[in-house]
Structure formats: C-alpha cells, structure tokens
Amino acid sequence: MTVSETIYEEITKLYPDAKCELNYRKDYELLIAVMLSAQTTDQSVNSVTETLFNKYKSIKDFANVSIDELENDIRRIGLFRNKSKNIKSMSEIVVNQFNGIIPNTQESLQDLPGVGRKTANVYLAEFHHIPRIAVDTHVSRVSIRLGFADEGDSPENIEKKLMNIYDENIWIDLHHKMIFFGRYFCKAKKPNCINCPILKYCKKPVLK
Ligand code: SF4
C-alpha cells in the first residue's frame, strides 16, 4: 500500500461517515448554504438557513427580496452584506437565464456572482456527485502538513496535486474526510499530533 493510500485509509477509520454538514433540500438551497459558509462554520449556517429556507420557498423569492430584508435575515453570519448582494444577484441570474435551475457546469457556476471555484466544486460534488476536490482551509492545511502540497500553493494547485495523487472515484469522499480530519483532529492550532495515526508520514507535526 502506498503512503497516500495508507493516509486515506487511516483518516477513513477516524471519520468513516464524513459528509457535507450543511442542511439543504433543493439545488438553490445547497448553493446558498455554501455561499453563506465562507469564513463561517457550517453550524452557524444551518442555524440561519433553518428559518431562512422556510421563509424563502423558491429561488424566485431570493431574486425578488430587497437587499435590506435579506441582510436582516442573515445578519448573524459573517460578511452578511456581501453575501446578501451575491445571493440576490445569483438568484436573479438563475431565474432569468437558467429557468430557475442552478446550472451544472463549472464554467456557468463560476460566472454566477459570489461563486468561486471552491463553491462550484462543493456544489457539483454534493448535488450532482461529479468528482471534484474542493480545497478549503482544512484541506489546504492538512495537504501541506502531510506533504501533498507546498506552503504557498494556491487552492487550485493543491486541488491539482491531490487529483494527481488520488484516484477520481475517491475524490468526493477524500474531500469530506480531509475536512473532518482538519476540522476535528489536525486543527490549525493544537493539532492532536500525539495521537495521530499518520504521525510518521507528517512533515509538520507539532510535538511539544
Ligand atoms: S501529526 Fe499532527 S500535524 Fe501531522 S497530520 Fe497528524 S495531527 Fe496533523
């Protein structure tokens, strides 16, 4: 077994059920939840969307709302002003140009306001099961610590490096497991190195 395979196996043992933690029922709800999650925890997003998605029953509702009202509805979330503007503009475009259905190509998604590569990747992997590795802060940090990527690599570079190392059929699963491993075990501050099952492969353990 290769080192990368062993690492995948070990983090799978730690988090066998890792999955997307954002709550959603429809395509636009997922995209909006992902847009809201920038620099915010999934738990905070879920606590806001629980009432938000009951109030706004279709993407048209998001397209038609005033910015002031939407801001007020999501103000508990960081960057709410910018996120409100992007969610409303995105919804208007999807209603007017895509018949109310979130597009399912990387290019069309990334043309939407507030949708970058990571958000598009999360959406495509989660809603359409299209193989993608979305590189967020956790995937990025874990990749660098494990030597899959280098300090200073862009998220897109890290994504390419991981896609070269791992087989396409595990990309979505790997992405979830790396997020859980980074979020709960290999934390930015005080990673649990002393108990880490992949310590011997780590390039940057914190052992004090
Ligand atoms: S040894 Fe520490 S820094 Fe390295 S992967 Fe494990 S928890 Fe993360």
Gap from CA of 145 to ligand 1 centroid (Å) = 7
What is the CA angle 21-9-182, rounded to 5? 40
Domain ranges of the chain: 3-18+136-201, 27-128
pLDDT the model gives residue 208: 72
The pLDDT of residue 63 is above 90: yes
- Prediction pTM value: 0.94
Identical fold between 3-18+136-201 and 27-128 = no
Q: Which CATH number fits domain 27-128: 1.10.3470.10, 2.40.160.60, 1.10.340.30, 1.10.8.50?
A: 1.10.340.30
Q: Which residue has the tokens 């897109």?
A: 156
The one catalytic residue among 136, 177, 200, 208: 136
Q: Which CATH number fits domain 3-18+136-201: 3.40.50.800, 3.40.190.80, 3.40.50.410, 1.10.1670.10?
A: 1.10.1670.10
- How far is residue 68 from each of residues 4, 45, 71, 80, 84, measured CA to CA in Å? 48, 19, 5, 11, 9
Taking the chain, what is the end-to-end CA distance rounded to the nearest angstrom?
Answer: 30
Q: How far apart are CA 174 and CA 167, in angstroms?
A: 10
Gap from CA of 3 to ligand 1 centroid (Å) = 15
Say whether 153 is catalytic: no
Q: Which ranges constitute the DSSP H helices of 19-114?
A: 27-36, 42-55, 59-64, 67-73, 80-97, 106-110
- Judged by DSSP in three states, 114 sits in coil
pLDDT tens, position by position, 66-122: 999 999 999 999 999 999 999 999 999 999 999 999 999 999 999 999 999 999 999
pLDDT the model gives residue 84: 98
User: Which DSSP string corresponds to 139-197?
Assistant: HHHHHHHTTSS-TT--HHHHHHHHHHHS-GGGHHHHHHHHHHHHHHTS-SSS--GGG-T
The pLDDT of residue 207 is above 90: no
Q: Whose CA is nearest to atom 5 of ligand 1?
A: 202
